[in-house]
Structure formats: structure tokens, C-alpha cells
Amino acid sequence: MKPMTESTDGRGEAKRSPGIAADETSLDGLMPEIPSLLAVTGIGSLAFGFVLGALQGDGWSCFFHAYLANYCFVVSIALGSLFLVTAMHATRAGWGVSVRRIAEILAANLFLPALMFLPILLPLAWGHSGLYSWNDPQTLAKESISPAKAVWLSVPLFATRAAGYFVVWSLLAWFFLRRSTEQDLSGDPALTVRMERWSGPALVALGISGTLAAFDWLMSLEPLWSSTIFGLYYLSGAVAGAVAALILAAMGLQAAGRLRSAITVEHYHDLGKLLFSAVIFWGYMAFSQYLLIWYANLPEETGWYRSRLAGPWGGVALALLFGHLLIPFFGLLSREAKRRKRLLAFWAVWILVFHWIDLLWLVMPGATGEGFTSALIDLCLLVGLGSLYLAGAWQTAQGLSLVPLRDPRLAEAIGFENN
Amino acid sequence: MSETEPKTANPAAEPILAGMLAEFDGPEALLAAAAKVRQSGYRRWDAHSSYPIHGMEQAMGIRPTLLPWLVLGAGIAAAAVAIWLQWWTNAVDYPLVTSAKPRFSLPANIPVAFELIVLFSALAAFGGALGLNRLPQFRHPVFSSKRFRRATTDGFFLSIEAADPRFDPAATLALLESLGPTAVEPCCDPAEARKVPAALCWAVAIGLVLAVLPPLWIARARMTTSDQPRIHLIQDMDFQPRYQSQAASPLFEDGRAMRPVIRGTIADGQLDADEHLDRGRSGAGWAASFPIPITRENLARGRGRFDVYCAPCHGLTGGATPDDLKREGRPDKLLAYGPVALRAMERIEGEQPGYNLWVMPRSLHEPSVVTQPAGQLFNTITRGLSTMPSYEAQVPVEDRWRIVLYVRALQRSRNSRVENVPEALRSELK
């Protein structure tokens, strides 16, 4: 939608747009103690949560469930960011160049989740079945799990697959961040072509690995239950969370005097549209899963919903219907909601909160504990894992430009206008 | 960015000045000119370029469009229509149990609501965009300019219509020329441009006539008879792949297509648990009251069912009254007996008593029947009595009560006393 005289090469716009000052594009001089502060907060919170979990005296059920929920929350932000990067390349999005590097950095941080996965994996190897009941042969027999599924859900295969996911994700994230930063130096447009060429296969790999990871980590909490759409349900929530995180990260950086000229209200408008569509897509997935199970009414399928729609979790399910779909749908519907920064920040926080509640809703009904201590453990682990993840992202961003400085579409992105 | 259609009607046969067109050499010049024209207070004018120019909305003073609100309204209306339609058809008008779900189940209705929201919103967006832009438009003043043809390739134009209240040939021309255009020209509509083309009139007329034919054809088909089999428009509705009752089926072990009632279940609507409604009982004895409201509609329905199911034997009046028998010995046959009873009487005439098994239907006006509680009459219809069969299978439970209601009315009217008539009306009696 740019004037024709300038659309042929974009040089006209580059001349018109103010150049991006060097101090706008790096984290240098922005409180260097932040990463270590975040790391200390994270480890402290984790330790506190660990103590609280030990005091529960429920065989670590509450602690590990809360850990898994928050772990999947943090991973979902990284996965969603990786999806945004690949999707921008796949669609040759001009507008997104302004915010793409932030998403690249959030995604490149995926090596940390690999480390964070050890507290889930090691207890499994030691025979703990408080989180994944399939680790107990008696449960497998009692719930009449098929032999093939029992093999699929054995610890060695589970660990191998997890390693596979981390390798795929790290490779993808590393590839896109490296090529992009390489371009910062060389300005070679061929790198853009190369990233675009790989974005399609990357999306396929991401979809398959993300679906399998959701099956492994979240769906297998109830080993009898299965839903083929569940992976997309998790990934759609991940994209909503990642867009919200991206909006907040961009706003935070701008408040700290970074990226002032690179990101304009037009980019927030587009991010708002993405947030809106991710919210609708999440609702679409959630309802598609629910409708089929509700209609068929098969005991081995409805059991999962029974523990999540009856009792206190039923209230949470209703809260999700309104808070994760209906209210933000109308809240983000108008153009103004996406163009007013404070309003959009409000909705980004709102979506992040409900995305977190969504993951608690998926995981926590299997835990034994309830009440205040349980909620406190949830929060401790959110702060713990979230801070560590942010510290890692900050560390990754050190020495990198916060925008793809010499991306051939940067001028187009800065001059971009909605209409 | 569109404005209006020309409206000035001029019967004169010479070309009419319909507007003024100015050409500019680039988007910047057009933007500046648009801002000036807007400041001059013109309303019916437009800027034309082959692609959208950023900032043109502000320069022209175009307000945000109403369209999103139209689409939102259409979407909300669609949701309401979809939910109402499904509720009405599935839960009210033709209650149907599907997959053991409640008759009105919101989850099952969401997909239809979703699709209808998409449809209504899309139609509202399409029609709304056309309507708000005043399209379709047959003619616009700029069409008479040859120069204007370049508006879709590389031209930048600004047009002011003569229909604008501020339009003045000299002043408008001066204004346009002051904006630094590369050219200004008046746009004149040829006189015949005001007329609707004859071909279009014919096309509309023929279209209307053709549109009337199918309804006429359907109306004729509905009012006449034909010896041809009817046309099956919807084949899979008319010829459904289903089993007829009592048919065999390889699907089930017992080879029957009809499935027996599942042990421990009761079919929808067959609970029969209400002692009063379903069995006419109240406490230890027969119920004297009605479980249905006593209304004119129920009475009329009861009369209709009585005439169908009861009158063939009992007669339209329900039989002879004791007064009839006292007065004449034999009552008026046609009123007191139904055609079945009459035919039986013909057949057995002359036969010796005791050689036939025919039992005359009982008169409903005999004292022994008149004194029966309503519940007992209901029970007789439901279960049958001696040679009278049960009507439970043919007549739904509410209709049986309506028949009892009508029988009560018959008994009241055929055995009425002067005391039953309101005092004010007694003088009218002969």
C-alpha cells in the first residue's frame, strides 16, 4: 500500500525516513546488572518454590505439576516467537522487519529450556510417577494402555524425543538469528532469500515437533486420553503468548529509549491484529476439540474434560472462555484498541495472564494440592523460570543489533502504513 | 473516495455542464489541491489516482467509515438469528433428540452460528461498501473526458460536480486553475446521457417477467393434479438409505433392523409416570378433575378427535339420552348411532337374539356413564372396555383428555335442565 513512485525499490523511502541512530539499536548502557539480577531472582524463586513443594508432603506432585505448567508456558513464548520469525519469512512480511530481531532473540534462547527440562526428566529416570502416571507399570495395566502406547511413553523414548525437539528448535532458531545477524554486517540480500527458502520447511518442522512435544509433555499427563488437535491447541496459545510478549518487549525497549524510530504505531497496529487473530485461532482450536469430544461422548475422551470442567476447575474453564476468547475478542476488535499503546499493552498483559492460566488449567487438575500454597508455588515457579528465561534472552541480545540493520526491507518496514 | 451521482435534470437537448475536471502532475500536487478544495467548502468532489495515496483521507477530510459498525451489527444479528433458528426448529417446533443430548444444546449450535456470522458479515461488508460508495452508478461527469481514461494508469485528477451547491462555472474554474493543474476542462454530459438506455429497460422488464415464471409454475403445480410421479428435487431426502420397519439387517447379531428397547431405559416422551395425566388416578380412586386446562381450544380439539375415533360407533351426539328413549322408544338412529353401529344393526336384523356377538355401543348419556369421574372415562378410552378396544396407541394422552372434556360437554348439553341456563336467557327458551 505504498505510493507507486517509491514501491519499485524503496530507496525513496529510505531517504525520507530518519536514519536509525546507533544507540537505539543495542542494549549497551542499559543497566548491565539486569541479567545477573534476573538470574538471581529466578534461582531464588525456584529455590523457594522447591522448599514450598517439599513442605506440601504430597510426593512432589504439586511442585512438579506447577513446574511443568510454567515450563510449558516459557517454552511456548520461545516457540511462538520462532513461529513468528519463520512465518514472517514465509510470507515475506515487509512490515515485520522492525520487530523481527526481538522475536529472533526470544526464540534463539531455546537452549535454556533444554536445561530446564532436566528437573522433569531426571525424576522420571529415577522412577517418579507423581507427574506422569505412565511411569508406573501398574497404572499402565489398570488403565489398559495399549502396548504400543506404553512403549512410546517409556522414559528412554520420551527423553530421546525431547532431545530431538530441542535439537530441531535450537537449530532453527540459531539458523534464523545467525543469518540475520550475518546480514547486519554484510547487507547481502541473498541471505534474505536463503531464510525465505528455509522458512517453509522450518514451519513444517516446527508444527510437527511442537505437536509431538505437546502430546508428550501435556497430553500424556492422562495417558488414556488423546486428541489429535491438542498440539495445535497448545501452539495457537503459544503464538498468542509470543505476540503479546513481543508487543510488551517492543514497548519496554522503546520506553528505555531503544528502537524509537524503527517501531511506529503502525507496527503495533499489525502486532495487535496478529494478537487478535491468534486469540480467535486459539478459540477455534479449543472449541473444535471440545465439540467433537462433547458430541461423541466417549468415556475415555470425556474423562479429561470431566476433571477440567467439574469442581473448581470448571470456573477456570469458564474464565478461559471469556478471558481468553470473548472479552479480548471484543476488546481487540476496534482499530483504536490496536493503535493506542496503553490499551494494546493492557491487552497484551491480559493475554499473557490468560495464556498462563490456560496452561495451569491443562496441567494442574492432575495435581493433588489445592489452595493458597499451591497457587504460591505456581507463582514462584513462574517468576523463577520466567526470570531465568529473560536473563538468557538478555544475554543473547548482548552485542546484537535490536533491528536487522541492513535487511533489504527495513526501509519498507519503517515507512509502513496501515490503510 | 467516491462521491455522488449526478442529479440535475435538464430537459434541454443540448449538453449539460456536469462538472469540472483538473489534472495534476503527481500525488503531491493532488494532495495539496485536495486540501485546498476541501477548505473551499465543496462537498461533491473527488480525487482520482490509480493507487491509494497516503494522507489523501486527511487532505480530503474523509471521516472514518461506518462500514465496521455495519459488519459488527450484521455479525451480532447473524449470531442471534442462528441461535434462535436452531432453538426454534430443534427444541420447540420439532423437538428432536440427537445423540442423547438435550434438545437445545449450545455447543452443537455454535458451528452454524459461526458460519452464519461469516456469511452475514461478508454480505454486509460487500453490500455496505457498495451502498456507502453509492454504487452501482451508471454515469459520472468525468466519463465524458477522454483525458480521464488515464486515471487508472498514470493520471492524477480532481473533479468537482455541478451538483455541488457551491458549484459556479466561473468561480470553480478559477479555483481549479489556482491549484496549479496541468489542465482543466469542463465535463459535459450529452443530453441522452440522462436517459436510462432502452436496452437496460428491456433487460429489466424481461428479467422481471422471467422471474415471475417459476413461482407461477410452482403455484400451478400445487393447484392442479397430475398423473405423473412427482419430481424429486432432493434425491437423498426422498430416497434415504434406511431400513423399513420389520426389515432384516445383517448389521446386528439377531438379524433385525429394529432394535429392542434397551433394558433399563425409557424412550423420550414415554415415561408415563404421572398418575393423574397418564392413568386418570387421584389418590385411591379416579380423578374427577382434568390435568389439562379447560379451554375452548382444548374442547374444539376434543370434538375433532371424538368425531374421528368415537363417533363411528357412539354417534356424533354420543348416543341416546334417557329422555329420548322415554319419548319415542327408539331414538333418531342417525344421531344416536355411528355408521359402524348402524351397519351392525342392519346385519343382525331378523337374527335370533343370542346368535350374534354384537354388543351395542353404550350411550354416553346413560346415568351410569354420566356419573363416572373424568379419570374413569379417560381410563376406558386408554384401556378399552369389553368389546371397545384400547385407543392408547392411536390417540396421544393429551388428546384422550380432550375427548373426555368434549364428552363432558356433550353430556351436559344433552341432559341439560332449565336451571343450567343463565336466568337472563331463560325467557328466550320456547
Backbone φ and ψ for B377, nearest 5 degrees, come out as -60, -45
| pTM: predicted TM-score of the whole model, two decimal places | 0.79
Q: Rounded to a whole number, what is the distance in Å from the CA of A263 to chain B's nearest CA?
A: 19
Contact (Cβ atoms closer than 8 angstroms) between residue A278 and residue A236? yes
Count A/B contacts: CB-CB distance under 8 Å. Answer: 32
The ipTM, to two decimals, is 0.83
Residue reference for cell 478459540 = A283
- What total number of domains does chain B contain? 2
Give the integer Cα–Cα distance in Å for A295 and B107.
9
- Positions in chain A short of pLDDT 50: 1-18
Q: Residue A291: which of B27, B53, B107 has the nearest Cβ?
A: B107
Q: What confidence tens digit (pLDDT) does each residue in B353-378 have?
A: 666 777 888 889 888 899 999 999 99
Tell the burial category of B18 from Cβ atoms under 10 Å away from its Cβ (0-12, 13-18, 19+).
Answer: buried
Per-residue confidence (pLDDT) for residue B360, from 0 to 100: 81
Q: Do A291 and B111 touch (CB under 8 A)?
A: yes
- B192 and B294 in one domain? no
Give the integer Cα–Cα distance in Å for B89 and A219.
38
Q: Could you tell me the sign of the dihedral formed by the alpha carbons of A295, A301, A307, A313, in that order? A: negative
Q: Do B110 and A291 touch (CB under 8 A)?
A: yes
Chain A residues lying within 8 Å of B52, measured CB to CB: 1, 419
Please give the distance of CA A271 from its chain centroid, rounded to a whole number: 15
Mutation target to probe the A interface, by most A beta carbons within 10 A, among B58, B99, B121 is B99
Q: Report the amino acid identity of residue B99.
A: S
Give the integer Cα–Cα distance in Å for A249 and A255.
10
Q: Is residue B258 part of a domain?
A: no
H helix runs in B371-428, sequence order: 374-383, 397-414
Closest CA to B50 of B141, B159, B154: B154
Q: Do B50 and A291 touch (CB under 8 A)?
A: no
Chain B residues lying within 8 Å of A290, measured CB to CB: 107
Query: Residue B309: helix, strand or coil by DSSP?
Result: helix
Chain A residues lying within 8 Å of B26, measured CB to CB: 5
- Positions in chain B short of pLDDT 70: 1-13, 194, 327-335, 353-355, 430
Query: Residue B353: helix, strand or coil by DSSP?
Result: coil
Give the integer Cα–Cα distance in Å for B289 and B377.
12
With residues binned 3-state (H G I as helix, E B as strand, rest as coil), the percentages for chain A, rounded to 5, are 75, 0, 25
Q: What confidence tens digit (pLDDT) does each residue in A300-328 have?
A: 899 999 989 988 889 999 999 999 999 99
Q: Report the amino acid identity of residue A390.
A: L
- Assess B102–A contact: CB distance below 8 Å, yes or no: no
Q: What confidence tens digit (pLDDT) does each residue in B19-53 have?
A: 999 999 999 999 999 999 999 999 889 999 999 89
Give the integer Cα–Cα distance in Å for B50 and B46.
13
Backbone φ and ψ for B8, nearest 5 degrees, come out as -60, 125
Give the integer Cα–Cα distance in Å for A112 and A335.
37
Indicate the residue among B198, B225, B252 that finishes a domain: B198
Give the integer Cα–Cα distance in Å for A356 and A364.
12
In order, the DSSP letters of A56-120 are H-STTHHHHHHHHHHHHHHHHHHHHHHHHHHHHHHTT-STTHHHHHHHHHHHHTTHHHHHHTHHH
Q: What is the DSSP letter of B189?
A: E
Provide residues of A within 8 Å CB-CB of chain B: 1-5, 287, 290-291, 294-295, 297, 333-335, 417, 419
Give the integer Cα–Cα distance in Å for B10 and B72.
42
Q: Do A297 and B99 touch (CB under 8 A)?
A: yes
Q: Do A417 and B27 touch (CB under 8 A)?
A: no
Q: What confidence tens digit (pLDDT) does each residue in B378-392 have?
A: 999 999 988 899 999
Closest CA to A97 of A17, A209, A8: A17
Q: Rounded to a whole number, what is the distance in Å from the CA of B43 to chain A's nearest CA?
A: 23
Closest CA to B179 of B153, B157, B149: B157
- Assess B270–A contact: CB distance below 8 Å, yes or no: no
Contact (Cβ atoms closer than 8 angstroms) between residue A121 and residue A159? yes
Mutation target to probe the B interface, by most B beta carbons within 10 A, among A295, A326, A333 is A295
Residue of chain B with shortest Cα separation from A416: B54
Q: Is residue B305 part of a domain?
A: yes
Count other Cβ atoms within 10 Å, centred on residue A57: 10
Q: What is the DSSP letter of A302?
A: H
Q: Do A4 and B99 touch (CB under 8 A)?
A: no
Give the integer Cα–Cα distance in Å for B404 and B370.
11
- B287 and B178 in one domain? no
H helix runs in B288-395, sequence order: 296-309, 311-314, 322-328, 333-336, 339-348, 367-370, 374-383
Q: Report the amino acid identity of residue A185.
A: L
Mutation target to probe the A interface, by most A beta carbons within 10 A, among B1, B30, B50, B54 is B54
Give the integer Cα–Cα distance in Å for A366 and A121.
18
H helix runs in B88-168, sequence order: 106-132
Give the integer Cα–Cα distance in Å for A33 and B283.
87
Q: Do B51 and A3 touch (CB under 8 A)?
A: yes
Mutation target to probe the A interface, by most A beta carbons within 10 A, among B24, B51, B70 is B51
Q: Is residue B270 part of a domain?
A: no
Closest CA to A369 of A52, A43, A117: A52
Q: Can you give the residue range of the structural domain that contains B154?
A: 1-198
Q: Do B51 and A297 touch (CB under 8 A)?
A: no
CATH code at position B306: 1.10.760.10
Per-residue confidence (pLDDT) for residue A371, from 0 to 100: 66
Q: Report the amino acid identity of residue B355.
A: Y
Domain boundaries, chain A: 48-411
Per-residue confidence (pLDDT) for residue A106, from 0 to 100: 93
Chain A residues lying within 8 Å of B50, measured CB to CB: 4
Strands (E), B89-200: 156-161, 183-189
